[in-house]
Chain A
Amino acid sequence: MTGFGRKLAKGAAALGVVGWALAAPPQAQAAPPDIVIGAVYPLSGNAAPIGHDAQVALQAMTDIINGHMDMPMLMGQGGGLSNLGGARIKLIFADSQNNPQIARTEAERLITQDHVVAVIGSYTSFTAVTISQICNRYEIPYISAENSSPTLSKQGLAWFFRPSPTDIDFSGAMFAFFAGIGKQTGRPVHSVAIIHENSVFGTDSSRIQTGLADQAGIKVLANISYQSSTPSLSVEAERLKAADADVVLPTSYTSDAILLVHAMHDAGYTPKAILAQDAGFIDQAFLTASGPLADNIMSRSSFALDAGKSRPAIAKVNAYFKPLDNGKDLNDMTSREMTAMQVLADAINRAGSTDHLKLQAALKATDIPGNQTIMPWVGIKFDATGQNTEGNPVIQQYQHGEWHTIFPFDVASAPAVWNVGK
């Protein structure tokens, strides 16, 4: 093209743009800016399956809040955040690699570079320690979705909020179940064997369970700790077999949970009952990899898929979530992740602003009735440490390929298969 030709073409293009601008109708009022929320999860490494499920769950809840799906729960009507002109939530994920140092760096990057208004995380309690501390330093709320270590609430952090129950509540429910099932069947629990991974999650869990067993007059015949992602748990299984307690209480992440049930089987040991501290034992990958070895395993849970009667949103939310997560039903992790996003969205909406102090005040004033969530909890109200005081756990059992609520008895959907004392 000649120099004159190029000038002609540029001129025509400029005229075209001006003409289009003049012809365009006056623009509607600009959409409010997106509310950016950070999420730190293990998206690679040994805990990546859980991280990916969390990614789907948080995005699904964001879709519900931003969209128009009309779910029967708080923020379920959609249309964005009404008090911020219908602003939409935008999620930014960061990969912690399940490493506390990387989790801290990634959380800091989200805060300083992406300017997130809050951070949600993080599956493992040891990554939550560093994330919650860095959030506290920058005065950005950290919503702990499913970290269950009670130590996290005792750090004295003003920006830490946890809707989920802790292992104190969970373990309390386990021992209440032992008392209840003992009365109901006449076959009480006399002894337990504890096995746990040795990070803050496992050690906290073991400490609480030992204390509760002591109070209940139940003997702790073994208390075994191991390092997560160990190549073998066969000796640990032998020690459990030698203890032969009424109930085995494992606190394990997915890979170790798979190894443990196989190791117990290979040692020729079938515990009378296994009551797990959630985590790896409720992961679909564990259930698939363990096959029949997972039958009748019990776990504490803060979610009950079969509580649809009192929580009408469960069925609709699950119907939306399940195809997104490769056919996996909502579970104890993914339900709590969705709830964490719901709690945060509600607080931002009530604050009517993304100002961190207003958001902190709104979070502190959170008061959500249980029936406005998908959780079987009484509700969500935070105490001075940021811990929900109205989250009550349930005990579930994996029977015939499905999780059934077996305790508290008044909300149970199936009787417990109870082999203790037989």
Chain B
Amino acid sequence: MSAAIIIQVAIGGLLMGLVYALVAAGLSLIFGLMDVVNFAHGELLMLAMYATLVLHQAIGLDPLVQLPLVAALLFGVGVAIYRGLIARALGIRFNTGMAQIFVTFGLSIFLVGTAQLVFGSDFRAITDGVLSNRTLALGKIVLPLSQVAAGLVCLLAFAALVLISRTEFGRALEATREDRDAVALIGIDRDKVFSIGWGIGAATVGIAGVMLANFYYISPTVGANFALIAYVTVALGGFGSLLGALVAGVLVGLVEAMTALVMDPSLKQVGIFAIYVLVLMFRPRGLFGRL
């Protein structure tokens, strides 16, 4: 096995890991904020990918240009989901936990079904974007530009999330996370914080969706491919931790790639889940979790 292959595989794993990390960041943010696991998270990713495809086909906008548009759209979707469903589920006094699980699980089935009804079940892809099928060769190392761009945008999105966490709203978010009942006493509108938190979580996965649409196929069930990895990443990094999501995402990407290189690729998820089990055994709150 040559060094070039190892480096190439490591770069591929790193780039994919950054995408996993950003998908997980949105999930982690929502869970950290209000202890709700969003089972429709993968479907939000799918929604963003279809939005990118539709905008690209309808008005010829390149996916890269669409980033702010789709992020804003998904922000709106996140706020709407909170206001329309989650806030109501939180208001139920009996068996609240189950209600929260079922409402997001039901939403995921609804979104997949709606996508199949509206767009059909065919696999689609954006094949004529600025970055589509473009590669950069550095000696024996070949870099797919669409994935390099996805990795960079994911890092920028993380930087933006860190910046947001340092604003007044970020502090309100943190305070609400710490004690959702106490914040009402100091004049923080808890409901508003929750809905904006959902908006940011959805916008984050929206950005990942736009970048994925550059090099990945789009179908009603595409979200499921990433959702499981996102749950593992969040648990690995620690629920509610942005840094944890980033480190765990990259770790998952690298371990997955390296396992596929040295073992039978059909067992590549073994590496991910082995690390996951180890972390659960020795550090159940995750690498950076504070719970």
Residues of A near any B CB (own CB < 8 A): 43-46, 48-49, 51-52, 198, 224-227, 229-232, 234-236, 238-239, 241-242, 254-255, 258-259, 262, 265-268, 283-286, 288-291, 293
Contact = CB atoms under 8 A, between A and B. Distances in A.
Contacts of B137: 268
A215 B260 CA distance: 29
B226 A265 contact: no
Contacts of A52: 120-121
Contact of A46 (B1, B221, B261): B221
A45 B222 CA distance: 9
A48 B113 CA distance: 12
Given A235-B261, A236-B265, A238-B5, A265 B124 contact: no
A258 B123 contact: yes
A198 B269 CA distance: 14
Given A44-B121, A289-B123, A291-B127, A232 B142 contact: no
A254 B12 CA distance: 22
Contact of A225 (B9, B125, B264): B264
Q: From DSSP, what is the main secondary structure of chain A's interface residues?
A: helix
Interface string B211-229: 0000111011100111001
B125 A229 contact: no
5 contacts: A238-B261, A242-B1, A266-B215, A268-B137, A293-B133
Interface residues of B, number: 43
Contacts of B266: 198, 225-227
Contacts of A43: 121
Nearest to A48: B121
Contacts of A229: 224-225
B208 interface: no
Contact of B9 (A44, A51, A235): A235
Given A234-B16, A266-B142, A267-B142, 9 more contacts: A48-B221, A232-B256, A232-B257, A235-B261, A236-B265, A255-B217, A258-B123, A266-B147, A291-B127
A236 B219 contact: no
Interface in B42-67: none
B96 interface: no
Given A227-B266, A235-B9, A265-B133, A258 B225 contact: no
Interface in B97-154: 112-113, 116, 120-125, 127, 133, 135, 137, 142, 144, 147
Contacts of A46: 219, 221
B219 A255 contact: yes
Nearest to B259: A235
Nearest to B113: A44
Nearest to B16: A232
B121 A266 contact: no
A234 B12 contact: yes
Interface in B165-204: none
B121 A238 contact: no
A258 B123 CA distance: 9
B2 interface: yes
A224 B144 CA distance: 22
Contacts of B268: 226-227, 230, 235
B257 A234 contact: yes
Contact of A289 (B2, B120, B217, B229): B217
Nearest to B260: A235
Contacts of B112: 44
Contacts of A289: 123-125, 127, 217
Given A226-B266, A238-B8, A45 B125 contact: no
Nearest to B137: A268
Contacts of B215: 262, 266
A266 B123 CA distance: 20
Interface in B64-103: none
A45 B221 contact: yes
A288 B121 CA distance: 14
A306 to B, nearest CB: 24
B257 A235 contact: yes
B123 A255 contact: yes
B254 to A, nearest CB: 11
Contacts of A285: 122-124
Q: Which of B12, B215, B217, B229 has the most CB of A within 10 A?
A: B217
A258 B124 CA distance: 10
